Amino acid sequence: MNQHVDMSASGDKAARQATGLVGEPVVRLVDVKRHFGKTAALDGVSLSVGKGEIIGIIGRSGAGKSTLIRCLNGLERPDSGEVHIEGREIGRLDEKQLQPLRRRIGMIFQHFNLLSAKTVEENVALPLKIAGVSSTDRLRRAGELLELVGLSGKARAYPASLSGGQKQRVGIARALAAEPALLLSDEATSALDPETTRSILALLREINRQLGLTIILITHEMEVVRSIADRVAVIDAGRIIEEGPVWKVFADPQEEITKSLLQGMRPQLPLEFMQKLSPNLGSEAVLRVDIVGETALGPLLADLGAQAGTFRFIHGGIEQVQGHAVGTLFLAVSAGAPDLSRTMEFLTGRGARIEVLGYVFSDD
Ligand SMILES: Nc1ncnc2c1ncn2[C@@H]1O[C@H](COP(=O)(O)OP(=O)(O)OP(=O)(O)O)[C@@H](O)[C@H]1O
């Protein structure tokens, strides 16, 4: 089932879920604070995640991501604020009251956390054993889950004989065993190679679609967020500093930290060209032009040539993120008036964002 999966999030779905408030949110955090001594690991986090939504949480090391996850699964208690899971506030529940609620949350980890002395099916069935499900029922359920993750043939194998991708599939099957409402993924693909990562992400997306499962992804891999998340939240120093649909944040990040986190994802001027750039006036201005949506799809460059004058196309391109065309073009335009001002006017009129990166001489 993990083959031929469309990995781009649907634009419609993204639009519906852009606010994370479709129906009763599965997760609702209200002004959550958690301090360790003088360190504010969480400094007033408010966030809602709707049913069936996939949200990516990104941030630098030490930003507060793990603390956030630990507050969600009840391993960490906030100093103040509220954590609601499916409408129940978990902050005040005692350990016994938390048990059934924890079963509503599945978790997958970077290093899989499988029990090496147990077979694949025993690993998958473990949450059900803890929940008191009979041996027959839990083995039947483990069989169904292994089929769902494409590992039917490995029920009796031991984790040591599996590849990293297969181990993570077992981790996913185990996380789904108790039919959770929420799946927390803590760097689940960080230890996997790119191809295996793609297949695990496709599996998560498929499970999200089939089961309507809500997924929160903590990751430092921006590609993961771009591939499967509907929405992204950027956390820094314990606060959510930016949040929105993935295509929008990736196309037009507002905060410096977001820009820096996404740097590798955004097209850059090739190094050899960058080295020629000068801040002093040259014969050509080099522009970075960021475009989104209709502008990116239309015959922008043909129109630019016809209406504003000649230019040199240096580098860039357009890609689809969540069904939205997002592009960055690097152009060299004659620096003299009226060419430059006409070009700027034309591009701004089409909704593009323009930055003059510097100047070159046209024979460079
Ligand atoms: N148990 C603890 N005791 C003391 N300080 C802690 C504890 N847990 C977290 N912190 C501090 O809180 C801040 C947030 O940590 P957290 O682990 O949540 O960040 P993170 O974004 O998950 O980082 P990373 O990506 O490196 O795992 C950090 O400054 C960290 O040192």
72 and 39 assigned to the same domain: yes
CA of 62 to the centre of ligand 1 (A): 5
**Res 288 pLDDT > 70:** yes
Where among 247, 264, 281 does a domain terminate?
264
Q: What is the CATH number of the domain that holds 218?
A: 3.40.50.300
Q: Which atom of ligand 1 is nearest to the CA of 63?
A: 21
201 and 299 assigned to the same domain: no
Q: Is residue 223 part of a domain?
A: yes
276 and 252 assigned to the same domain: no
Which pTM was predicted?
0.85
Per-residue pLDDT tens over the stretch 34-82:
999 999 999 999 999 999 999 999 999 999 999 999 999 888 999 999 9
* pLDDT the model gives residue 266: 80
Q: Is residue 46 part of a domain?
A: yes
Which residues does a 6 A CB cutoff place in the pocket of ligand 1?
Answer: 36, 39, 41, 59, 61-67
CA of 196 to the centre of ligand 1 (A): 28
328 and 226 assigned to the same domain: no
As for the ipTM of the complex, it is 0.97
185 and 328 assigned to the same domain: no
Q: What is the CATH number of the domain that holds 278?
A: 3.30.70.260
Output the residue whose Cα is nearest ligand 1's atom 5: 36
84 and 196 assigned to the same domain: yes
244 and 298 assigned to the same domain: no
* pLDDT the model gives residue 239: 97
CA of 238 to the centre of ligand 1 (A): 9
Q: Which atom of ligand 1 is nearest to the CA of 70?
A: 18
Range of the domain at 244: 11-104+180-264
CA distance 186 to 109: 5
